[in-house]
Structure 1
Amino acid sequence: MKSLKLLSSLAFTLIACASFSQSDSLDKYILTPPPSPKPHINGAEVFGVRPNSPVIYKIAASGQKPLHYEVKNLPQGLSVDASTGVITGALKNAGDYKMEVTVSNALGKNKRNFTIKVGNQLGLTPAMGWNSWNCWGLSVNADRVKSSARAMIDKGLIDYGWSYINIDDGWEAAQRNADGTISPNEKFPDMKSLSDWLHAQGLKFGIYSSPGTRTCGGFLASYQHELQDAATYASWGVDYLKYDWCSYDSVYRAEGDTTDAAFIKPYTIMQKALLQQPRDIYYSLCQYGWRDVWKWGANVNGNSWRTTGDINDSWGSLTSIWSRQAPLYPYASPGHWNDPDMLVVGMLGWSDNLHPTKLTPDEQYTHISLWCLLSAPLLIGCDMSKLDNFTTSLLTNDEVLALDQDILGKQAQQIIKKDDYQIWVKQLEDGTHAIGIFNLSKEAKTIHVDWKELNLSETLTVRDLWRKKDLGKFKKGFDTKVNSHGVELIKVK
C-alpha cells in the first residue's frame, strides 16, 4: 500500500511538473473572469498607524497601465506619488483622517473613500503578503526575496493589496557583534538596502526571530537581546516581525514556572521592545495555538497569532487546521487576527527542491475561500516568480479578497456542520453576508442552503464571488452543486 501511494504521489508530481512547464494546463480550472482594463481600487478601506510613525501605503488598484493617482483631503504630513500611488510621510496627531482616492487611466476613473486611523492599533485588516518559509525554508537569500517581490509587482498582486515581503528563518549571522547586536549572514549582505528597495516599490519588509536562544532552524534568536534586536529591526526599516516560540521551550522548562504568565512573558518582553521603536512593526505571534493564545494575544499587542502547528500542502493538513477554527471567531477583531498559517498554493518545497502544490484545484479554492472567510492573514508561501495563470487568478479575485479585508473584521461562523459538508457565514460591514458552502465528501454533490437555518431573510439576491456573477433572487433557500473538496462562495443581500 505504501509503495502504491508513493508511486501515485510521484506520478502526480511528474504530471503536475510537466503541465506547469508546458502551457498552464490548469487554465481550465480558472473561474474568475479577466480583470477589466478600467481602473478599479482594491484593498482595505482603512489603514492604522501610530503617531509619528512612518507611513508607507500603496493604493492598490487594477486596470490598464499607466494609472494616475489622486487623493483628496490628504492630511498635512503625507504625500502621494501620482504615478505609483504610494503614500508616504507621517502624522503627528491621533485621529481619523478621511480622504477620497481617485485612480484614473485612459479608459475612465474609479473613486473610493479611505481612512487612515492614527492611534494605537495596527493591522486593522489582516496582513497580505509573502513569506519565504513554505517556499525556500532555510535556503532563502536576498536574490530570492527580491525575485518574489518583483513577481508580486509584475504579476499584478500588488494591485490587489498584497504588500508584505517577509523573510523567515535562515537570515541570521552565526555570532552577534561585539556590542551584542545581530547581523545578517552572507546571504543578506545589506538588509537596510533591501528594505529601502522594497519600500521604494510600495512594499513592506518583514523578518523573523524567536524568544529563545535559537530559532527553529538553529540560528541566533533574541533571548536576552530583545531590545537590541527590536532597535536593529527598526534601523533596517522592518515593518513586520514573526516571533516563533522554537527553543524558548528550554528556557521555559529551566525556569520551572508553568503558569500562564510565565508562558506569555517572552511575548510581553518583545512587545515592550517594539513599542520603544520609532516605527510601527506588525507583531505576529507564532506559538502554535498553545495556552489559548487567542485569549491573551491582544494583551501583548499581537496583531495575529498562530492557532495551530505548521500547514503543509495536503488535504489532511488543511482539514486538520480547519477543524480547530470554528470556536475562535469571538477573538478576531480589527488589529487582532486568528492565524491558521500560510497559504500552500503554487510552487512549494521548504527547500531548494520545489514542487507544485499537492492540493487539487478545488481544494485550493476551498483553501483561499476559507482563509478569507476567517479574516486570516494571507501570506503566500510559494515561489512567486513561477506563478502560473491559475494560481495568479486565485490570488487576484478582488471580490474574494474583499471578504478578508472587510473593515468590520468579523470572522465567519460555522453555522451548519454535517459529516459531508459545512456552511460558514461571515457578516460584512455593508450589511451583506458571505457564505461558504464546502463539500467535504469524495463525490460532487448538490447542497441545499436554507436561509432560515442561517438566520437570514426569506428572499436574498445571490452573487457567485469566484465567477463574479449574479445568480438572481432566491426565496427560502438556494441549491448548488459543489465539487468534491470544493466550495461555492457566495454573497447574499
Structure 2
Amino acid sequence: MKKLSVLMLLFVASFKADAQDISLKKGWKFAVGDSAQWASPTYNDQHWQAIDLSYNWERQGHPNYDGFGWYRTRVVIPASLREKSFLKDSLRLNLASVDDNDEVYLNGTLIAKYGNNGGSNIKDGNYGPRSYTIAANNPAILWGKENVLAVRVFDTGGDGGIYGINFSLAMADVMDNVTVNTDADFEYGDNNSLSKSVKLITKNQYQYQGKLAFKVTDPETDAVLYEKTNPAAFTIGKPFTYSFSIARLAKKSYTITYTFTDEKSGKSVTHIETTPYILTPYPSAKPKINGAEVFGARSGNPFLYMIPATGKKPLVYKATGLPEGLKLDAATGIISGSVAAKGDYPVTFTVSNKLGSKTKKFTISIGDKIGLTPALGWNSWNAWGLSVDDSKVRISAKAMADKLSQHGWAYINIDDGWEAENRSADGKILANSKFPDMKGLTDYVHGLGLRMGIYSSPGPRTCGGFLGSWQHEDQDAQTYGDWGIDYLKYDWCSYSEVTIPKPDLPALKKPYEVMQASLGKIHRDIMYSLCQYGWGDVWEWGANVDGNSWRTTGDIQDTWQSMAGIGFDQGKAAPHAQPGHFNDPDMLVVGKVGWGPSLHTTRLTYDEQYTHISLWSLLASPLLIGCDMGHLDKFTLSLLTNDEVLAIDQDALGKGASQYVKNENYQVWVKELKDGGKAIGLFNTTDKYQTISLDKADPVLKGYTKFRDVWQQQYIITTGKAFSAKVAPHGVMLIRVEK
C-alpha cells in the first residue's frame, strides 16, 4: 500500500463518449519544484519536460521524488462545445487521479482544489480520482480561444503526480451522475441458471424517463442470445430496478450490456458486465488435508499452526511425530507450544470423520527461517482503507476461520489507520479509539487458529498520515511482540523525508535492516513484509535484509490494465523467489473492494479474476485477499478455495514462474514444482477468444504424459502432437503436467 488506491472509481459505469469531449491526455509539460509564476498563462514553459499522463513522475526521470510538481498544457475550448450540449451550465474537467493533492489553475485563476473534499492545506494529502465542475460563465474560461491549464501537485511520499486514463474536458451532461449499479450478487439456480437485479441510480433532481435495453452476448461466437427493452423511469432517491434470469449457461462467461436512453435528452449511458462461472469443484464430505507441506518456526518462539482440512464436520485431528514442546487440539486441529531444538521434524497428520480418514506427510522446520511458503491471508487496505476498525477485523477473522482456514488461509492483517495520534509519555506506540484492545483482538484471532498482522512505516508518518516507527523501532517491535503480532508490513511512505535525496542502495536497505534488527530482539516469529514499491530492484537484496516478502511494484487497482501490467511484468523478479523470501506484486483485487468506506464489486471480469489468481499463484506470491470478508459471494469463495491452485502457490520448492512465450495474442508462464511436475499458465491477453497451443515435443512439455486442468481438478485427454486450449478474453487455462 502506498496511498488510498481508489484510482478511476469514476469509471464504475462505462459511459458512451460524447463526440464533443476534448481529450487532455497529450501535450503536457512538467517540472519539479514550486513557483507561483507557473500558474500564469504567460509563463514560458518550453524548457519543461514533456510527460506522459499514463504514468507517475517517478517512472519518468524523477525516482523517489516527493514534494511539489507542476503540470501545464494548452487547449482550445470551442464555443460549439457549449452550444451543442443539452445542459449548458457547466464545464466538466476530468484529471484521472491525483497523487496526493492538487490545485487547478485555468488561465492563472484557481478554479478547483483538493478534490472538492475540503482541507486547508495542499500538503494534507488527498490521493484519489478528480472530476471538477466549473460554471460555464466563469470568466476564467476563454471560449473559442486557447486556454492554459496548470495543475500544482504535492506528493506526500511514494509515487506522485497526476496519472491514469480519463483526462478530458466536456460540458456537464445529463448522464454524468447516472449509474447502472450492478453490485448485487448473481444468484445461482438449477441447470446453470443465473439471476440478478440491477438498478438505475442518479444523484440528479432530473426526472429520467426512457428505455433500458438488456442484451446477452456470447463473446466466443458474438451471437446475441437474448435481447429485451423495458420502459424505465427514475430520479434521485427513487431508483429503477430491473431483474432478470438467464438459463442453462455453459461454464464460461457471457457479456451483458445495459443501455439506458433518456427520451427527452436523447442521451445514453451504457454499462457492460460479464457473468460468473464456477470451475472449482464443491469439496467432498470425506476428509481431505490441504495446505502446504512444510511450516517453519524459530526455536524457542511461540508456535501456532492449524491443520487445514475439509470434510463434513465434526472432524477429529491427530498428529504423530510432533516435536517435544508442541501439542495438538484434536477437536480444532490447532497445534501450539514452542520447540527448543532446531531440526526438520517429519510429522504425519490424520483427519477423520464418519465417512473415513485421510493422512498427509508434513514437515515442521525449526531453524532460522520462517515463511517457507508465501503467506495466505487477508489485508484490510483494498477493502477498508483508513476506515478499518476492530469490528471489521473480527468479522474478517471469523469469516476466514469459517470459510477459508480449512484451505490454508491463516493471516489477518491490519493495514494503515490503527495508530493513535500520539505516543505515550515513554514513547510507546498506541492504538487509536477504533482499536480499544489490540492485545484482546490478537488473542481473538489466535483463538481461531489464525495469525495476526500489523502495519507501520520507517518514516515519521505512515502513508495515511499516522505515526510511523522512525527512531522508535525497538519500542515498536517490542510492542508488537507484547500484542502477539505475527506479521509486519513495513511501508516506506514518509521515510523519504529523513533519508538522502534520491537514495542509493545502502540508503534503500537501511530502514529495513534497522527494523529487522529490532524484530530479532524479541522472542516471536514475525513475518517481515517490505513495502517500497520495487525501488532499487529490491528482489535482488530483499532476502539479504531478511525480508520474507517484498513489494515489486506500485499499488494495484481493480482494472485489467493494472493487474495485467503488474502481473506480466514480474519476469526480472521471478528468479529471486525462494523458500522464506518471495516477490510480492501487491494484494488481490477480487470480491468487494473500494479502499473504504464505500465498496464496489471488482471491475475485473470473471475471466480476469481467474487470470489474477492463477498468475499470482504461478509467481509464488503472497496471496493477500483485499475484499470485504463479511461479503464473500459464491464466485469469490470458489476462487479462494481451489486447493490445487493454492498448492501451486504453496509448493515447497518456492520457485516463481518464468515467462516462456510472449506474443501479441498470448503469454505462457511456467513454474517448476517440487515433485518434478510443472504448472503452466496459458494466458490470453487479447479481448477475443484465442486458441493457444504447445507442441508436446517442446522442451517445456517433453516427457510429460499427464495434463491436469487445475481449476476443474480433472485430467485432460489429449491427442495429437500438441496440447491446445481455447482461452477466453483476458482468461487463462491453468494446467499441471506430470510424468
TM-score range for the pair, normalised by the shorter chain length: over 0.9
Deviation at 1:321, TM superposition (A): 0.5
Matches within 5 A, 1:229-268: 229-253=476-500, 258-268=503-513
User: Post-superposition shift, 1:5?
Assistant: 6.2
CA RMSD between the two structures: 2.0
Please give the secondary structure, in 1, of the residue aligned with 2:679. Answer: strand
The within-5 A match list for 1:193-342 is 193-253=440-500, 258-342=503-587
CA distance in structure 2 between the partners assigned to 1:223 and 1:151 by the alignment: 34
Q: For each residue in 1:214-252, what CA deviation from the matched residue of structure 2 results, as whole angstroms up to 9, or x when unmatched? A: 000000000000000000000000000000000001111
Work out which of the residue numbers 137, 159, 166 in structure 1 matches 2:413: 166
Instruction: Letter of the 1:36 partner, please give it.
Output: S
Alpha-carbon distance in 1 for matches of 2:532, 2:628 = 25
Q: May I ask how many residue pairs the two structures share in their alignment? A: 488
Structure 1 or 2: larger strand share? Answer: 2
Structure-to-structure mapping, 1:138-177, within 5 angstroms: 138-154=386-402, 156-177=403-424
Residues 105/419 of structure 1: CA separation in 2 closer, same or farther (3 Å cut): same
Taking a change above 3 Å as real, the CA distance of residues 275 and 354 of structure 1, as seen in their structure-2 partners, is same
Residues 362 and 257 (structure 1), Cα distance of their counterparts in 2 relative to 1, 3 Å cut: closer
1:320 offset after TM fit, Å? 1.4
One-letter amino acid of the structure 2 residue matched with residue 343 of structure 1: L
Correspondence for 1:29 among 277, 296, 315: 277
CA deviation string 1:234-281 (max 9, x = no partner): 00000000000000011113xx58331122100000000001111110
1:102 aligns with 2:347: no
Q: Is the counterpart of residue 49 in structure 1 residue 297 in structure 2?
A: yes
TM superposition score normalised by structure 2:
0.64
| Residue aligning to 1:92 | 340
Q: Does 1:71 align with 2:237?
A: no
- Pick aligned residue for 1:8 from 8, 14, 38: 14
AA in 2 matched with 1:386: H
1:453 Cα deviation after fit: 3.4
Residues 1:432 and 1:165: Cα distance change in structure 2 (over 3 Å)? same
* 2-structure distance, mates of 1:491, 1:21: 31
Q: Which runs of 5+ in 1 are unaligned?
A: none
| Alpha-carbon displacement from aligned partner over 1:154-197 (angstroms, at most 9, x marks no partner) | 2x201000010000000000000000000000000001000111
> Taking structure 1 as reference, are residues 436 and 454 closer, same or farther at Cα in structure 2, changes over 3 Å only?
farther
In structure 1, how many angstroms separate the alpha carbons of the residues matched to 2:678 and 2:695?
Answer: 14
Counterpart of 1:373 (choices 618, 628, 633) is: 618
The 1:227/1:440 distance shift into structure 2, 3 A limit, reads: same
Identity %: 57
Q: Distance in 1 between matches of 2:364 and 2:180?
A: 48
The one-letter amino acid paired with 1:16 is: T
Distance 1:69 1:16 in 2: 43
Give the letter for the 1:55 counterpart.
F
Q: Which stretch has the larger CA shift, 424-433 or 238-247? A: 424-433
Q: Which residue matches 2:373? A: 125
Distance 1:192 1:382, change over 3 A: same
Change (3 A) 1:20 1:173: farther
Distance 1:28 1:442, change over 3 A: closer
Which of 363, 379, 382 pairs up with 1:115? Answer: 363
More relative contact order, 1 or 2 (CA 8 Å, 6+ apart):
1
Q: Deviations over 1:380-399 (max 9, x none)?
A: 00001100000000000000
Structure 2 CA distance for aligned equivalents of residues 13 and 78 of structure 1 = 56
Alignment-mate amino acid for residue 242 of structure 1: K
2:626 aligned partner, one-letter code: G
* Structure 1 residues 169 and 20: alpha-carbon distance in aligned structure 2, compared to 1, 3 A threshold: farther
2:521 partner letter:
Q
State the alpha-carbon separation in 1 of the partners of residues 639 and 178 from structure 2: 21
SS at structure 2 position matched to 1:441:
coil
Cα contact 2:401–2:450 (8 A) shared by 1: no
How many angstroms does 1:14 deviate by?
A: 3.9
Match for residue 632 of structure 2? 387
Q: Give SS of 1:472's match.
A: coil
1:475, distance to aligned residue in structure 2 (A): 5.3
1:456 to partner: Cα distance:
2.7
Stretch moving more, 318-327 or 345-354: 318-327
Contact 1:297 1:305 in 2 (8 A): yes
TM-score (norm 1): 0.96
Aligned-residue offset at 1:198: 0.6
Amino acid across the alignment from 2:337 = G
SS in 1 for 2:715: strand
- Structure 2 residue 326 is the aligned partner of structure 1 residue 62: no
Distance 1:487 1:441 in 2: 11
Q: Whole-Å Cα distance in 2 between the matches of residues 63 and 12 of structure 1? A: 46
> Contact between 2:455 and 2:491, CA under 8 Å: does it hold in 1?
yes
